[in-house]
């Protein structure tokens, strides 16, 4: 079963496990964030380009709330990969053509803090990360990642907010190297 299909099933299961009532207060317990933006790869061997394109989704539920802040739990799904490079051959230190770095797909479980109004969120957790193998188009490597993110709702409307985010995922071990996937994004949040 593909990672995308597993992600969709997991999101549906998480959404269905919570009771749904038609009250405005409970409806605001859940939110869905979608972001797109640039990213950067740190670590690993020499590659053609370390710049990337990043897509990210986050489903959260507010678990507890006091007067000033609240606790969140959520599930994230993301993709980070190099922009198209065509037939460019840039020579590396060993005089070989450099490859693009792998495309990374992530599914994570996160927990964290939110401000009382929900404008600022800080989340961290653990993720399953799939990276494509350049030498085999139909094979993938899996590893564990440690994601951290800060989201800020820069403009709020009734049930919609414009959201800016900064994210990082540390891959302690992938093919014998440590990587850090960095990303920023701009998108929206639906309450």
Contact (Cβ atoms closer than 8 angstroms) between residue 33 and residue 163: yes
Centre a 10 Å sphere on the Cβ of residue 9 and count the other Cβ atoms it contains.
11
What domains can be seen in the chain, in order of their start residue?
Answer: 3-190 (2.40.160.20)
Sequential pLDDT tens for the chain (191 residues)? 555 565 555 555 555 444 444 333 443 589 999 999 999 988 877 776 788 899 999 999 988 766 678 899 999 999 998 877 666 777 777 777 777 778 899 999 999 999 877 889 999 999 999 988 665 566 678 889 999 999 999 888 888 999 999 999 999 888 788 889 999 999 999 98
Contact (Cβ atoms closer than 8 angstroms) between residue 150 and residue 163: no
Overall pTM surpassing 0.85 (yes/no): no
């Amino acid at each position: 079963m593909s990672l995308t299909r597993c992600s969709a099933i997991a999101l549906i299961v998480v959404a269905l496990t919570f009771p749904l009532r038609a009250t405005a207060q409970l409806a605001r317990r859940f939110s869905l964030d979608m972001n797109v933006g640039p990213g950067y790869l740190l670590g690993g061997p020499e590659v053609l380009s370390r710049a990337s394109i990043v897509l990210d989704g986050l489903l959260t539920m507010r678990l507890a709330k006091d007067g000033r802040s609240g606790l969140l739990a959520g599930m994230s799904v993301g993709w980070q990969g190099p922009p198209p490079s065509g037939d460019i051959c840039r020579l590396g230190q060993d005089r070989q053509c450099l490859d693009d770095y792998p495309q990374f797909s992530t599914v994570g479980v996160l927990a964290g803090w939110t401000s009382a109004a929900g404008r600022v969120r800080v989340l961290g957790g653990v993720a399953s990360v799939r990276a494509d193998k350049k030498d085999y188009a139909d094979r993938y490597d899996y590893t564990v990642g440690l994601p951290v993110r800060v989201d800020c709702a820069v403009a709020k409307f009734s049930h919609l907010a414009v959201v800016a985010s900064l994210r990082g995922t540390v891959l302690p071990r992938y093919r014998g190297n440590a990587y850090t996937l960095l990303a920023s994004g701009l998108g929206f949040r639906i309450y």
